[in-house]
Amino acid sequence: MLLALLALALIAVVLSMPLALRRLEQWRTERAQRPQRGAAHALDDLYDPGRERRAEQRARELLRSCVNEEEWGMYRDLGFIRVPGRHARREIDRGARAAYAYLVYPHKPIVAYVPESGQLLSEYCVEFPDLTGSGGRHRLPASDDVLAKWMALTSDEDRVIRRANMHLIGRQLDPARVRRDLWRLAEWERRRGDRQQVPQSQR
Amino acid sequence: MKFLRMKPGHGEVLLAEGDPSVREEEERLVEEFRRQLDEGMWAAVPVTNSGSGRREAQMVKEFADIPPESERVIFFPRASGG
């Protein structure tokens, strides 16, 4: 009886041998391919230095197609966009020049200030992280970041401001640099105004 | 109508394109719209303010909120405190 059981076990082992060998071979192949796949992904990331530049170029085109001509010119020449605030202290002020405005920089806090006086009000730290991004990339191209802020501010200012962390000026941005940017903006607008007046006066 | 999504390392990516007046294409657009919102995206449509004439964005939370004449909807990650 024992001999018969041993014979049966031996036959079972011999019959299952090809299956076991095939499985072992598959496992070996998969194991050999696994590090190569990882290396290929790493090479993709390493050997494409133009990827971010191309992404930024596309983002700039998208931004340009969405914002006003003035805002695009501002971003192209100065590196930031001014977005007027929507709220007014008094109903009578509504529709006139905005009581406050924002400076939107790429990957930097939004700065609120008073256009009339140039007084800096606060910094709003806000990000648009794409947590579904592959390869550990969560940061949008610079111009996409500006467009995201622009869209959020012009469509639902309260929501984006509520989500942002508000700080006093100087936490991340140098106030002197922001004041210099406001001066640059004023100069840019003056030159732009001059340029627009010249063709009219020549008519 | 085009659905575009901002992507890190890519710029914008075309997600879907179709004519909302065609039933099958509309269904495809609705499905994609919901998928993007489920992934945590915000959706906005660039529009021109009829009063001031200025360009601005309109946030949309439902497919039905998309202005009918819109050519594109842009999906972007939702804001969080930095």
Query: What per-residue confidence (pLDDT) applies to A134?
Result: 61
Chain A residues inside the 8 Å CB shell of B9 = 51-52, 55, 133-135, 137, 141
Asked if the Cβ–Cβ distance from B9 to A156 is below 8 Å, we say no
Q: What span, in angstroms and rounded, lies between the C-alpha atoms of A188 and A190?
A: 5
In this predicted model, what pLDDT tens digit does every residue of A86-131 receive, in sequence order?
A: 886 655 555 567 899 999 999 999 999 999 999 999 999 999 998 8
The answer to whether position B82 is within a domain reads no
DSSP A93: G
Shortest alpha-carbon distance between residue B78 and chain A (Å): 6
Assess whether pLDDT exceeds 60 at residue A178: yes
Assess whether pLDDT exceeds 60 at residue A36: no
| Other residues' Cβ atoms within 10 Å of the Cβ of residue A137 | 17
Question: What range does the domain containing B23 cover?
Answer: 2-77
* A173 and A159 assigned to the same domain: yes
The DSSP-derived string for B40-81 is: TEEEEEEEE-TTT--EEEEEESSGGGS-TT--EEEEEEPPEE
> Which of A92, A148, A151, A88 is CA-nearest to residue A114?
A88
Question: What range does the domain containing A10 cover?
Answer: 1-47
Assess whether pLDDT exceeds 90 at residue A182: yes
Contacts of residue A188, Cβ cutoff 8 Å, sequence gap at least 6:
A74, A77, A78
Question: Which of A109, A137, A141 is closest, CB to CB, to B11?
Answer: A141
Contacts of residue A119, Cβ cutoff 8 Å, sequence gap at least 6:
A113
Residue of A nearest to B59 (CA): A155
| Other residues' Cβ atoms within 10 Å of the Cβ of residue B2 | 15
Q: Mutate which of A72, A82, A130 to test chain B, going by most B C-beta atoms within 10 A?
A: A130
Shortest alpha-carbon distance between residue A53 and chain B (Å): 9
Assess whether pLDDT exceeds 90 at residue B25: yes
* A114 and A38 assigned to the same domain: no
In this predicted model, what pLDDT tens digit does every residue of A124-166 receive, in sequence order?
A: 999 999 887 666 678 899 999 999 999 999 999 999 999 999 9
Assess whether pLDDT exceeds 50 at residue A203: no
The domain total for chain B is: 1
Query: What per-residue confidence (pLDDT) applies to A3?
Result: 78
In this predicted model, what pLDDT tens digit does every residue of A56-65 receive, in sequence order?
A: 999 999 999 9
> Which of A83, A74, A142 is CA-nearest to residue B55?
A83
* Residue type (1 letter), A176: A
* B37 touches A: beta carbon within 8 Å: no
The domain total for chain A is: 2
Query: What per-residue confidence (pLDDT) applies to B34?
Result: 96
**What's chain B's Rg over C-alpha atoms?**
13
What is the rounded average pLDDT for all residues in chain A?
85
In this predicted model, what pLDDT tens digit does every residue of A191-201 receive, in sequence order?
A: 988 777 665 55
Chain B residues inside the 8 Å CB shell of A159 = 59, 79
| Other residues' Cβ atoms within 10 Å of the Cβ of residue A59 | 25
Asked if the Cβ–Cβ distance from A59 to B81 is below 8 Å, we say no
Chain B residues inside the 8 Å CB shell of A57 = 11
Q: Is the dihedral of CA A177, A180, A184, A185 positive or negative?
A: positive
* A9 and A61 assigned to the same domain: no
Asked if the Cβ–Cβ distance from B82 to A163 is below 8 Å, we say no
Question: Predicted confidence band at B71 (pLDDT cuts at 50, 70, 90)?
Answer: very high
Name the pTM for this structure.
0.79
Query: What per-residue confidence (pLDDT) applies to A187?
Result: 96
* A126 and A81 assigned to the same domain: yes
CA angle A55, A56, A59 (to 5 degrees): 90
* A87 and A30 assigned to the same domain: no
Question: Predicted confidence band at A35 (pLDDT cuts at 50, 70, 90)?
Answer: low
* A59 and A96 assigned to the same domain: yes
| Other residues' Cβ atoms within 10 Å of the Cβ of residue A36 | 8
What is the rounded average pLDDT for all residues in chain B?
94
Assess whether pLDDT exceeds 80 at residue A29: no
* B59 touches A: beta carbon within 8 Å: yes
Mean pLDDT for B46-74 is 93
* A17 and A58 assigned to the same domain: no
The DSSP-derived string for A132-157 is: T-GGG--PPPHHHHHHHHHHHHHHHH
* A25 and A67 assigned to the same domain: no
Q: Mutate which of B39, B56, B73 to test chain A, going by most A C-beta atoms within 10 A?
A: B56
* B23 touches A: beta carbon within 8 Å: no
- ipTM, interface predicted TM-score of the complex: 0.94
